[in-house]
Structure 1
Amino acid sequence: MSKKIFLISGLGADERMFHRLNFYNCTPVFIKWLPTKKNENIADYASRLLTQITEENPVIIGLSFGGIIAVEIAKQIKTEKIILISSAKDKSEIPFLYKFAAYFKLNKLIPKQLFKQTNFFVYWLFGVKNEEDKNLLKEVLKDTDLDFAVWAIEQIINWKNDYLPQNLHRIHGSNDHLLPLKVLPPDFEIENGSHLMVLNNAEEVSTALQEILN
């Protein structure tokens, strides 16, 4: 029987973001986002997602905000591996601009509906170029729950984590505009990889995953 691995997608996204990856002899289980509760913090939210993890000592792969959630889960249960793709491992990798916005609460001034809009800047930020990827991003943003998006952005820019799981592995793109590489180099750096390199550099990301999983 193949080994189960648990995947957490990016902010408000779902398993569509992983559809080009090859998990080889592993069976992917996609964690579904839950509606947030009033005044819920990220640790409590991560705890509620644990009901979807059915294996002891699991392998968890987190994309973008999903990686942040994966780290929060690793604080609460024993894990075999935590694999971050296009994500931040701790508070030092949250860009200064985001921390600046958090300090002055600038994120609260952004109309929620803007989170569903796509334009040249959004495509550049996520690193999508061809029409197929643009259409997928557009569909995912359209399906994203706005209240969840507002809550998640608040958690990202105010993330205070300084805990690093010992079994942490990182895959990051050299051309990630949303979460630029900084501080420590990742285990696997994907040349010219964007924030959504799971789409446009899927083969390289899959190869990195195979090395980590094996």
Structure 2
Amino acid sequence: MPADTNTPLILLSGLAADGRILTPQKVRFRWLHCPAWLPPDRDESIDEYAKRLADTLDAGPCIIGGASFGGIVALHLARHVDAQAVILIGSIKSPSQLPVYARCARPFRFLIPFIPIRFLQWLTRPMTAKRFKRFAPFAYGLACQFRDSDPRIFRWSLSRILDWSSDPVVSCPIYHLHGDRDWTLPLRYTDPDRIVAGGGHVISLTHPADVNDFIRHVLYHKDVDNPHDGNASQQIR
């Protein structure tokens, strides 16, 4: 049965991002909830974090998902809520879909606590000036989100990406949308249900109509091509 506005829709933002990255989806789906990231314990696993996040939602039957790292957490969250479906936006389903650079960086995870996040945030300040917004609104938005991100959450998220090693067990359908020019999580390592032509890593902002159409199909029709069954993907033009 198609979902309606009584079915909670919960989407998680990506690494160093917040709900602003899903603003076009909030405008289209008024009942969309984008929970803020909880402060993590330093060595907390993704599954432990997802369980703690689930305790704050009290959503009942719901459709969940996320962008980038938010999609990874959503896959684990599906174990702890009554998820009817999981929507991945520029994300991946399995550690085997991590790009080569992420796998090669795993031995260096111990260096993450030494990354000077505050200094890097300070370096991005020129990109958060209002005059910069006129010339590069997309870069301005990302810079503002990185500037405002919590270093603890950034470090924890980066660590969990690098030590993510087991496939989450998900009992509901998984629907995956990905950009064909995503250099952060390259398309060639994934098997999405639909591909956004010309889409980079932040398609929720750069291609909102495509993302909203994909979500609408999941919510109301459940007829997106072969959710996670290994068949060919369809390209959105």
Give the alignment's TM-score, normalised by structure 1: 0.86
Larger Rg: 2
Residue type matched to 1:179 in 2?
L
- Is residue 157 from structure 1 mapped to residue 171 from structure 2 by the alignment? no
Q: 1:82-101 maps to which residues of 2 (within 5 A)?
A: 82-101=86-105
Partner of 2:191: 185
Partner of 1:7: 11
Aligned-pair distance for 1:161?
2.6
Partner of 2:57: 53
- Is residue 20 from structure 1 mapped to residue 24 from structure 2 by the alignment? yes
Give the alignment's TM-score, normalised by structure 2: 0.78
Select which of 146, 149, 160 maps to 1:144.
149
Gaps of 5+ in 1: 120-129
The RMSD of aligned alpha carbons is 2.5
Q: How many residues align?
A: 206
Gaps of 5+ in 2: 126-134, 221-237
Distance in 2 between the 1:65 and 1:81 partners?
17
Of all paired residues, the percent bearing the same amino acid is 28
| 8 A Cα contact 1:23 1:206, kept in partner | no
| 8 A Cα contact 2:64 2:85, kept in partner | yes
Partner of 1:125: none
- Is residue 170 from structure 1 mapped to residue 173 from structure 2 by the alignment? no
SS at match of 2:24: coil
Aligned-pair distance for 1:95?
1.1
Q: 1:185-204 maps to which residues of 2 (within 5 A)?
A: 185-204=191-210
Listed one character per residue, the Cα deviations across residues 59-91 of structure 1 (whole Å, up to 9, x for unaligned) are: 002111110100111133331010010111111
SS at match of 2:86: strand
SS at match of 1:80: strand
Listed one character per residue, the Cα deviations across residues 150-201 of structure 1 (whole Å, up to 9, x for unaligned) are: 1110101211132352411101100001111134521111011010111111
Dislocated runs of 4+, deviation >3 Å: 22-26, 104-107
Aligned-pair distance for 1:107?
4.6
| 8 A Cα contact 1:6 1:60, kept in partner | yes
